């Protein structure tokens, strides 16, 4: 809890001052507005305004889509931007979203535009901010919002499909590692010790398996620490290194197996983003800059930055994109056709729909290949362990029968 000092104005323009002890600045603003006042200044008087919330949800693609749809429908129905923000704020279930909308409502009431308010927040993508700005200038903000809603809805669904498609292989691999580790560390050594005490002869395969098991059992803490160390090093060191991110970005679209799929995903996202930006009146140069960030691939972003310079010199977009050698040939050819016919945004919409379907088919095909490969690989590992156990047991039985 903290004590906030505030200034507000009523409908007649009179200034009201006061202080109130509340849990957050957001609750104070709600309290002031419920009385029919408009807050003009809020500052903390006593207490700690720093809030630590480990479980605070970030704003995801689904929530961006919902927000854009709400604002688009409300504004198309004739509701003012301030009232639309207030309704969206009240309906939002995300704490971070509510904080941002409350702040934006205050700033918009002071005369700032929505795009200016959102540009202060890191949670909102540059694409959304630029399109809102274009919508404000053109007077078609409601239409832009509805287009953004559909864009983020499609993007969210695509990511969900990819996540759902890969969840089974991840579970299978994780479970397999746990089972094999348990067998090697605890079951096999105990079984072999019983055989040795019974005077049985131990084959080389079984001895090798025992060595591996002992190594895992005696160094389990170090192995776990090593794995955790690699994960942390990647997240906090390697992922911060630009050269490493560029290298991984290139690997993602060039590697066999996953490379073609990732290239199709990037091509589809490029086409859909390009179409919505161009249709909203965003310049080509700004579009290329935004695309570099939206595609979430540092290598592609670097190549697009190089292409941006060529486009500025007057080279056609299609030719430039093709020379970057990071997108499928069909995409670059469609861009060229769109430039020549003057309907580039419409052609990009059709192209994005094509790649959406292609990605779905490619994901299903890839998963249908991965699952049997994983199962067969696991079967070979289990067979190796079973043979290592059964061979000495069969030797002992042969010895007893002789």
CATH of the domain at 140: 1.20.81.30
Strand duo 15-22 + 38-47: pairing: unpaired
In a domain, 357, yes or no: yes
pLDDT of residue 55: 44
Is the domain of 73 the same as that of 27?
no
Pair (40, 68) in one structural domain: no
Place 32 in a pLDDT band, splitting at 50, 70 and 90.
confident
Residue 218: pLDDT band by 50, 70, 90 thresholds? confident
> CA torsion sign, 252 to 257 to 258 to 263?
positive
CA distance 127 to 149: 12
Helix (H, G, I), strand (E, B) or coil at 137: helix
Determine the pLDDT at residue 268. 87
**pTM exceeds 0.85 for this model:** no
Give residues with Cβ within 8 angstroms of 19, minimum separation 6. Answer: 3, 4, 5, 6, 45
Q: What is the pLDDT of residues 298-331, one digit of tens each?
A: 999 999 988 988 888 888 999 999 999 999 999 9
**Is the model's pLDDT at 139 over the cut of 90?**
no
pLDDT in tens, 162-205: 787 778 778 888 888 888 888 777 777 777 777 767 666 677 77
The two tokens of residue 276 are: 């919505």
According to the model, what pLDDT value does residue 49 have? 43
Does the structure show a pLDDT above 80 at 259? yes
Q: Are 40 and 143 part of one and the same domain?
A: no
305 and 256 fall within a common domain: yes
- b/e sequence 168-199, b meaning 16+ C-beta within 10 Å: eeeebeeebeeebeebbbeebbebbeebeeee
Q: Are 357 and 256 within one domain?
A: yes
Domains held by the chain: number = 3
Distance between CA 206 and CA 391 in Å, rounded?
8
Q: Are residues 66 and 108 in the same domain?
A: yes
CA–CA separation, 22 vs 36, rounded Å?
A: 18
Is residue 180 assigned to a domain?
no
| Residue 326, CA distances (Å) to 18, 250, 275, 358 in order | 60, 9, 19, 17
The Cα 326–Cα 228 span in angstroms is 33
Q: Place 246 in a pLDDT band, splitting at 50, 70 and 90.
A: very high
Sheet with 2-9, edge to edge strand ranges:
15-22, 2-9, 38-47
Cβ atoms of residues 23 and 7 within 8 Å: no
Q: What angle do CA 191, 194, 200 make, to 5 degrees?
A: 105
Distance CA 335, CA 318 (A): 5
Same domain, 39 and 70: no
The predicted structure's pLDDT at residue 51: 42
The parent domain of residue 70 ranges over 61-154
CA distance 177 to 86: 51
Q: Considering the domain boundaries, does residue 232 fall inside one?
A: no
């Amino acid at each position: 809890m903290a004590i906030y000092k505030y200034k507000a104005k009523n409908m007649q323009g009179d200034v009201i001052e006061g202080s109130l002890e509340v849990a957050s600045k957001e609750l104070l603003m709600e309290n002031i507005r419920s009385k029919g006042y408009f807050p003009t200044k809020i500052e903390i008087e006593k207490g700690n305004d720093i809030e630590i919330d480990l479980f605070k949800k970030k704003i995801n693609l689904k929530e961006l889509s919902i927000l854009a749809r709400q604002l688009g429908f409300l504004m198309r129905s004739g509701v003012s931007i301030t009232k639309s923000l207030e309704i969206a704020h009240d309906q939002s279930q995300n704490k971070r979203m509510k904080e941002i909308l409350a702040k934006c409502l205050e700033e918009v009431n002071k005369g700032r535009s929505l795009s200016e308010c959102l540009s202060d927040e890191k949670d909102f993508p540059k694409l959304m901010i630029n399109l809102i700005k274009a919508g404000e200038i053109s007077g078609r903000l409601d239409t832009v919002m509805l287009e953004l809603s559909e864009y983020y809805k499609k993007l969210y669904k695509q990511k969900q499909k990819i996540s759902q498609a890969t969840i089974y292989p991840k579970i299978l691999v994780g479970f397999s590692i746990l089972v094999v580790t348990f067998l090697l560390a605890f079951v096999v050594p105990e079984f072999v010790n019983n055989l040795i005490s019974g005077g049985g002869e131990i084959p080389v395969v079984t001895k090798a398996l025992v060595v591996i098991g002992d190594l895992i059992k005696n160094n389990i803490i170090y192995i776990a620490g090593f794995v955790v160390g690699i994960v942390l090093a990647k997240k906090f060191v390697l992922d911060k290194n630009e050269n490493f991110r560029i290298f991984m970005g290139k690997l993602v679209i060039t590697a066999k197996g996953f490379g073609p799929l990732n290239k199709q995903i990037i091509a589809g996202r490029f086409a859909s983003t390009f179409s919505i930006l161009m249709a909203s009146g965003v310049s080509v140069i700004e579009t290329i800059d935004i695309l570099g960030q939206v595609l979430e691939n540092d290598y592609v972003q670097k190549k697009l930055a190089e292409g941006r310079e060529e486009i500025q010199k007057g080279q056609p977009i299609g030719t430039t994109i093709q020379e970057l050698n990071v997108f499928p040939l069909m995409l670059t050819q469609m861009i060229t056709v769109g430039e020549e016919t003057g309907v580039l945004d419409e052609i990009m919409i059709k192209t994005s729909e094509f790649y959406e379907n292609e990605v779905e088919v490619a994901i299903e095909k890839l998963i249908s290949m991965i699952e049997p490969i994983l199962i067969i690989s696991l079967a070979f590992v289990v067979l190796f362990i079973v043979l290592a156990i059964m061979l000495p047991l069969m030797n002992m039985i042969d010895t007893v029968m002789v």
